[in-house]
Amino acid sequence: MVGIDKINFYTPNTYIDLEELAKHRGVDPAKFTIGIGQSKMSVPPISQDTVSMAANAAYPLLTENDLNNIDLIVVGTETGVDESKSVASFIHDLLDIHPFAKSVDLKQACFGATAGLMMAVDFVRLHPDKKALVIGSDISRYGLNSSGEVTQGAGSVAMIVSSNPKIIEIEETSVSMTKSIFDFWRPNYSKTAIVDGKFSNEAYISFFSELWVEYSKRTNLSLEDFSAFCFHLPYTKMGKKALLPILEKEAPKNKDLLLENYQYSTNYSRDIGNIYTGSLYLSFMSLIEHASSSLTATDRIGFFSYGSGAVAEIFTGKLVDGFKDSLLSAEHEKLLTNRIDLSIEDYTTMFTKELSIDSDGNHLFNQDKTDNSIFFFKGTENHQRLYGKN
């Protein structure tokens, strides 16, 4: 039995309240909070990037035993910090993982962490005494005042994959699908993503419905075999738009259960925003930390991973006995309740702040005063990115 043994998320401790943003943009706040389904959006200071966020998510999980037995580090990201050097290689160093591990990034929009999870599960199936660290880490940016502004966010999810996992066993059958489309993409020369919003929503929904038909055909499983579905959540209404059509003919009892659990799976994303690669796993944590009284061991959870461009996958897992004892619910609540609510002015300043590297590749700065995270980005020296640890 192989699966997720430990899981944690990190998000920067600064956010913008979306009702305030709506008022400032002259939009009815209900459009953001009900129409889109978002309440708050994490905004990273310049001292938090994809690497530091990933380290902050993984660090609390690691014991001495993990550091000595993690032979594979995979980071799914679409907002890496270097065209060549992997985020995973920085993480290997920052977390002090033993030298004989391999470290690599995987990219396919928001799908990268799922590719990493599948690679890690296969790796541990082949090497049952070894572990893998899988991270999804991203900063989602469409730009100030853009159509996607309200669906931005920042954060990381870290998971340890092992034999005899303490949280969820990943089952063997899954179905993936690829279609090369331009629903959302970011050319190398652009700091912000380009998106065809309406088309991206349609693509997401049609990938889910096509995959569900294929998945149920291959496995003979029906919705009654599931206790919950977790979705990649670019915003919290998105997964529901995909889920509702397949629930139409479902018996009321099962339909209500799946909808209720869907709601639980959206709590964290509603207050953080789209964290791209980590988003699906943030939904999973939100589900098991908020619906834990109704979920029990052996319950089957469905996962829908979607990465624009586009690749998607439906896979499943079964909760294992005692999973509730391994959750970091109290730490997550503390992280979210202690955040700083930014004014529109501070949000704008933070969003537009950039490195001003001189011709020798230098720009070092102090950790932002709003940032109390363990790992932080210090700037560059001789074109090399440097990180600090508190």
Catalytic-residue membership of 381:
no
Which residue pairs, CB below 8 angstroms and at least 24 apart, start in 326-333?
326/5, 326/6, 326/166, 326/167, 327/167, 327/285, 327/288, 327/289, 327/292, 328/7, 328/8, 328/60, 329/289, 329/292, 331/8, 331/60, 332/9, 332/268, 332/285, 332/289
299 annotated binding-site participant: no
142 annotated binding-site participant: yes
How buried is residue 144: exposed, middle or buried, by Cβ count under 10 Å (0-12/13-18/19+)?
middle
* Cβ-based neighbours of 76, under 8 Å, separated by 6 or more: 105, 106, 107, 111, 112, 113, 114, 115, 116, 134, 135, 136, 137, 277
Catalytic-residue membership of 78:
yes
Distance in angstroms (rounded) separating the CA atoms of residues 133 and 58: 8
Asked if residue 276 binds ligand HMG (CB under 6 A), the reply is: yes
Asked if residue 306 binds ligand HMG (CB under 6 A), the reply is: yes
Which residue among 78, 149, 169, 313 is the active-site one? 78
Degrees, nearest 5: CA angle 376-112-77? 25
Residues between 118 and 177 that touch ligand HMG (CB under 6 A):
147-148, 150-151
> Which range in 83-91, 228-236, 313-321, 379-387 contacts ligand HMG by CB under 6 A?
228-236
Asked if residue 78 binds ligand HMG (CB under 6 A), the reply is: yes
Distance in angstroms (rounded) separating the CA atoms of residues 104 and 72: 8
Using CB under 6 A, pick the residue from 30, 213, 251, 364 that binds ligand HMG: 30
**H/E element holding 386?**
strand 384-389
Residue of minimal Cβ distance to ligand HMG? 35
Asked if residue 278 binds ligand HMG (CB under 6 A), the reply is: no
Asked if residue 39 binds ligand HMG (CB under 6 A), the reply is: no
CB of 28 to ligand HMG, least distance (A): 4
Catalytic-residue membership of 313:
no
Which residue among 92, 169, 232, 290 is the active-site one? 232
Using CB under 6 A, pick the residue from 195, 247, 295, 342 that binds ligand HMG: 195
CB of 151 to ligand HMG, least distance (A): 4
* Cβ-based neighbours of 83, under 8 Å, separated by 6 or more: 188
CB of 158 to ligand HMG, least distance (A): 19
Asked if residue 109 binds ligand HMG (CB under 6 A), the reply is: yes
Q: Which residues are catalytic?
A: 78, 110, 232
Residues that bind ligand HMG (CB under 6 A): 28, 30-31, 34-36, 78, 109-110, 147-148, 150-151, 183-184, 195, 197, 200-201, 204, 232, 234-235, 238, 274, 276, 306-308
